[in-house]
């Protein structure tokens, strides 16, 4: 009797129950976050989520339209070192006056994941469109800064000399066409820099 009274009160107040969970609890760089929502009723309101990192810094609110009692969404952008630090994250959600939360961990497993926005720059550079060797060198320096590739002695150096062999554009084009993996492409760049074939 008490349960039904509470259930009736919950409905009368317009606060449906809902839960959220991620498709896994541990993610690596290059993975896409997937979130599953279960709601007890459809109210026409979106679910609004915020992702909060270990320092308490919160993302902007992200409203998600809900048209089914169970909804799964996948983030369009993967986890990249240039955007996310490894650690534990909370997802706080609100829906029609109700709150729910879940958490996940992002680990650095040394898996190489090159940001998709860099792929556009490198593809244009490889096709001799818009971007110069200096633009490509800036992308490589970002890879080094965020430890996507590991060349510690280059982190604090600056150089006015940029040298990238023209034949390397073929490798860049193959990678941008998904014929070479992120791992092989990044390790190839690392080797060429260490061998002083590429200077950035």
Taking alpha carbons only, the member of 19, 15, 22, 23 closest to residue 37 is: 19
3-state secondary structure of 52: strand
Domain of residue 35, residue span = 14-107
Q: Classify strands 62-64 and 98-107 as parallel, antiparallel or unpaired.
A: unpaired
* Same domain for 80 and 99: yes
Per-residue confidence (pLDDT) for residue 17, from 0 to 100 = 92
Per-residue confidence (pLDDT) for residue 6, from 0 to 100 = 34
Average pLDDT over residues 1-13: 39
Residue 177 lies in a domain: yes
Of the two residues 3 and 110, the one the predictor is more confident about is 110
Q: What is the mean pLDDT of the chain?
A: 87
**Confidence class for position 86, pLDDT limits 50, 70, 90:** very high
Is pLDDT at 33 greater than 90 in this prediction?
yes
Per-residue confidence (pLDDT) for residue 116, from 0 to 100 = 87
Say how many domains are in the chain: 2
Per-residue confidence (pLDDT) for residue 61, from 0 to 100 = 96
* Same domain for 93 and 141: no
Per-residue confidence (pLDDT) for residue 5, from 0 to 100 = 32
The pTM is what? Answer: 0.80
* Same domain for 63 and 38: yes
What are the distances in angstroms from CA 98 to CA 1, 8, 19, 21, 46?
23, 15, 10, 15, 12
Q: Are 79 and 106 in contact (CB under 8 A)?
A: yes
**Confidence class for position 130, pLDDT limits 50, 70, 90:** confident
What are the distances in angstroms from CA 53 to CA 43, 89, 95?
30, 5, 21
Per-residue confidence (pLDDT) for residue 14, from 0 to 100 = 58
* Same domain for 82 and 21: yes
**Confidence class for position 158, pLDDT limits 50, 70, 90:** low
Average pLDDT over residues 75-97: 95
Is pLDDT at 89 greater than 50 in this prediction?
yes
* Same domain for 120 and 101: no
Residue 137 lies in a domain: yes
Per-residue confidence (pLDDT) for residue 8, from 0 to 100 = 37
Per-residue confidence (pLDDT) for residue 154, from 0 to 100 = 62
Q: What is the DSSP letter of 199?
A: B
Per-residue confidence (pLDDT) for residue 3, from 0 to 100 = 32
């Amino acid at each position: 009797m008490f349960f039904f009274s509470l259930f009736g009160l919950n409905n009368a107040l317009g606060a449906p129950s809902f839960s959220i969970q991620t498709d896994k609890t541990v993610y690596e760089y290059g993975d896409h976050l997937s979130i599953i929502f279960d709601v007890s009723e459809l109210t026409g309101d979106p679910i609004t989520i915020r992702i909060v990192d270990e320092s308490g810094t919160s993302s902007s609110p992200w409203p998600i339209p809900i048209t089914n009692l169970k909804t799964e969404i996948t983030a369009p952008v993967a986890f990249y070192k240039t955007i996310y630090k490894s650690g534990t994250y909370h997802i706080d959600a609100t829906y029609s006056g109700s709150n729910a939360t879940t958490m996940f961990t992002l680990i650095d497993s040394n898996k190489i994941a090159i940001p998709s926005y860099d792929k556009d720059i490198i593809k244009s550079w490889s096709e001799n469109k818009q971007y110069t060797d200096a633009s490509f060198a800036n992308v490589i320096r970002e890879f080094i800064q965020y430890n996507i590739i590991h060349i510690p002695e280059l982190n604090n150096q600056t150089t006015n000399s940029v040298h990238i062999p023209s034949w390397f554009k073929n490798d860049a084009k193959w990678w941008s066409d998904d014929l070479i993996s992120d791992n092989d492409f990044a390790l190839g760049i690392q080797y060429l820099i260490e061998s002083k074939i590429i200077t950035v």
